[in-house]
Amino acid sequence: MNSFFINIRFLIEFLFVKLIFFILYFFPVSFSSKIGAFIFRLFGRLSKRHLVAIKNCKHVFPNLSDNEIEKIILKSWENLGKTVFELAILKKIIKTKSIETKGIENINKILKSKTPSIFFSIHNSNWEICTPLLDNIGLEVGAIYRHINNELIDNFVLNQRNRSLKNKGSFYTPKGKQSAKDIIEAVNNNKSIFLLIDQKDSAGENVTLFNKQIKTQTGFLKIARKYKMPLVPMENIRQKNGKFVIIFHKPIYYYEDQNSDIEMMERIHNIIEKWILSNPTQWFWQHNRFN
């Protein structure tokens, strides 16, 4: 009986999400973003995650007042709301040229030769635009996503992501055993990978981030070294005009140096620390990163 009611609840949630996405598709990108920002700012501050976000932010900015911390976190909720609601119009964002790219000269060699590479970014701005952007500039790319408990919504959101892709070889894979298998298969087929590398990994290595040792994923570094894949930092910034800027920084040829995985990850953490500090209101503070 419990499973019956759970299924009914999942169905109602799915129909509600589908209706919202259907309606939002017919409105401008800026309208969808503003609605998402309003809703998440309103209800986000009432959730337990709000306290987690404040704690995380205080760790990074110990000298800021409570009021300044609160302002950052409320803006972060707005960014999260925009990102979620923009899933409804992800394909439109890619098609309408709402994304400006900088540093493309840093990856010209990769684009021309289709060199399999690992592009990495963080949960900043709208991180959902990164994979379809790489796909639309001519790369076959695989990306890992976190599975949603409601399978109906999970499949629906996955479909939204897939609709934004052009290349048949590009794909999304759910985090877990399946993703590990899919990623290795993709690398063996000369495809690139996109990863978000700022979340906690309880099975990972202890690496310093903002002066604290935290469990961090390093498996992708082993893949980069084994398959001689460049690591490309991909900075993502949301603009006030509703558009985005993606900056491709110079590739890191990890397999050519003698650094350990920990040393390389600390170098990468130094990079993403700068991204977070430059746009703190756009980072996903609600994740329990420093626990």
Residue with tokens 């600390």: 266
Ranges of each domain in the chain: 2-282
Per-residue pLDDT tens listing for the chain (291 residues): 467 666 788 888 889 888 888 888 888 878 889 999 999 999 999 999 999 999 999 999 999 999 999 999 999 999 999 999 999 889 989 987 889 999 999 999 999 999 999 999 999 999 999 999 999 999 999 999 988 888 898 999 999 999 999 999 999 999 888 888 999 999 999 999 999 999 888 888 999 999 999 999 999 999 999 999 999 999 999 998 889 999 999 999 988 777 899 999 999 999 999 999 999 999 999 998 887
Beta strands 99-102; 244-248: pairing state? parallel
Question: Could you tell me the two tokens for 274?
Answer: 């700068």
Beta-sheet strand order (sheet of 192-196) = 99-102, 244-248, 231-238, 118-121, 192-196, 141-145, 171-174
Q: HEC profile for the chain?
A: CHHHHHHHHHHHHHHHHHHHHHHHCCCCHHHHHHHHHHHHHHHHCCCHHHHHHHHHHHHHCCCCCHHHHHHHHHHHHHHHHHHHHHHHHHHHHHHCCCEEEECHHHHHHHHHHCCCCEEEECCECCHHHHHHHHHHCCCCEEEEECCCCCHHHHHHHHHHHHHCCCCCCCEEEECCHHHHHHHHHHHHCCCEEEEECCCCCCCCEEEEECCEEEEECCHHHHHHHHCCCCEEEEEEEECCCCCEEEEECCCECHHHCCCCHHHHHHHHHHHHHHHHHHCHHHECCCCCCCC
Q: What is the pLDDT of residue 4?
A: 66
How far is Cα 246 from Cα 188, in angstroms, rounded to an integer? 27
Q: What is the pLDDT of residue 1?
A: 47
Q: Give the number of residues written for the chain.
A: 291
Question: Could you tell me the two tokens for 12?
Answer: 């109602």
How far is Cα 80 from Cα 123, in angstroms, rounded to an integer? 9
